[in-house]
Amino acid sequence: MKTLESLGDVRGKTVLVRSDFNVPLDGDTITDDGRIKAALPTLTRLAEAGAKVLVMAHLGRPKGKPDPKFSLAPVAKRLGELVGQDVVLAEDTVGESAKQVAASLEEGQIALVENVRFDGRETSKDDAERSALAEEYAALADLYVSDGFGVVHRKQASVYDIAQKLPSAAGELVFKEIDSLSKATNNPDRPYVVILGGSKVSDKLGVIKNLLEKADRLLIGGGMAFTFLKAQGYGVGSSLLEEDQVDTVKGYLETAKERGVEIVLPVDVVVAPEFKADAPATVVDADSIPDDQMGLDIGPKSAELYASKIADAKTVVWNGPMGVFEFDAFAGGTKAVAQAMSDGSGYSIVGGGDSAAAVRTLGFDEATFSHISTGGGASLEFLEGKDLPGISILED
């Protein structure tokens, strides 16, 4: 991939940087600023080199038109606090305000244009529409830097098309992500353990299939575990279940057996009668889930089992929580997995999204993990071996 060095001297030049600022909000309050902090190395490096830094990003899904609740105003405020300067936010993405903000930038200054998804062309399936928008982005700057790893798996105007309009390079975050994830896909140190959670098996079918050829152990938790338990013939009560994936999962269990890949499933489950923080929680064996109960976390025996399977890992990747970690009563499994990874001596990757949020929410020291990815979907697709358009367009 083209590096920042390939852009040459950036002093006095306007550099358009695509960051990933899709942060969780509670009203106007950012509840996890991890993605903003992850963008700082590239932004401060460019600013210190005398570039005029114009940042673009998305937040939420505003359906192709301006929506005040998805404004990047809270991001501009927090970014300003972190970089120690006022970060001006343009009122639009490529309109008069954006042009004015770009034109008034001084060397070393950082500014932000409004949410790129306020323009429907950003995510259009029509190449010509995206290309036209990319031309307007390009008119704002001299150079382009791709540093939003969370979106590199998308063929979008600010990720893919813009890289064809301006001299382009990957930022430090994107390089770090690719380098770290490559350690888990190219001849990983073994035992190579992958922990998969989250709600749906269907979201992770491709990565499971790919990992059956690479991993030594797969630990399955979260809502997707119940489709695996059903595939083993167990009742799952009112737990999350993808009935149409049961046969596919049966096939994966057979393939794993043939290849000597260990698939570890919950032996007990924390259940409740409804999906509520204060619902009465009880622990039952995984083969004895009552019909009127839903599984909302792996149980304490499972947590202990999973921790023991992580302990000797030389490479461990985790994507997706083990339960509803946002509710205290159902956070035990996720906490146990994070603790085991934190305590381990192997190379540990937290694969973005809810897993990264869980690490921070549950109060773990991020420095005890080798790498915390900023891109849940992008890291999954990388592990799946898919082509990432936002990366391939930057290759030399």
Query: Which residues does the annotation mark as catalytic?
Result: 35, 200, 353, 377
Q: Is 355 annotated as a binding residue?
A: yes
Tokens describing residue 2: 């083209």
Tokens describing residue 142: 């001299």
- Strand pairing class (110-112; 14-18): unpaired
List Cβ neighbours of 215 (8 Å cut-off, separation of 6 or more).
Answer: 192, 193, 194, 261
Q: Is 235 annotated as a binding residue?
A: no
Cis peptide before 66 (omega within 30 of 0): no
Q: Is 180 annotated as a binding residue?
A: no
Beta strand residue intervals within 209-359, DSSP E: 217-220, 262-264, 268-272, 282-285, 294-298, 315-319, 347-350
Q: How far is CA 123 from CA 60, 94, 165, 203, 280, in A?
A: 13, 15, 17, 20, 43
Q: Is 295 annotated as a binding residue?
A: yes
Q: Is 203 annotated as a binding residue?
A: no
Q: Is 168 annotated as a binding residue?
A: no
Q: Is 354 annotated as a binding residue?
A: yes
Q: Is 117 annotated as a binding residue?
A: yes
Q: Is 204 annotated as a binding residue?
A: yes
The residue behind tokens 């430090």 is 172
The residue behind tokens 């405020």 is 77
Three-state secondary-structure class, residue 83:
helix
Q: Is 259 annotated as a binding residue?
A: no
List Cβ neighbours of 381 (8 Å cut-off, separation of 6 or more).
Answer: 153, 206, 207, 388
Q: Is 352 annotated as a binding residue?
A: yes
Q: Is 96 annotated as a binding residue?
A: no
List Cβ neighbours of 367 (8 Å cut-off, separation of 6 or more).
Answer: none
Q: Is 60 annotated as a binding residue?
A: yes
Three-point CA angle 352, 171, 108, nearest 5°: 120
Binding positions for ATP are 204, 295, 326, 352-355
Binding positions for (2R)-3-phosphoglycerate are 35, 117, 154
Binding positions are 20-22, 35, 58-61, 117, 154, 204, 295, 326, 352-355
Binding positions for substrate are 20-22, 35, 58-61, 117, 154
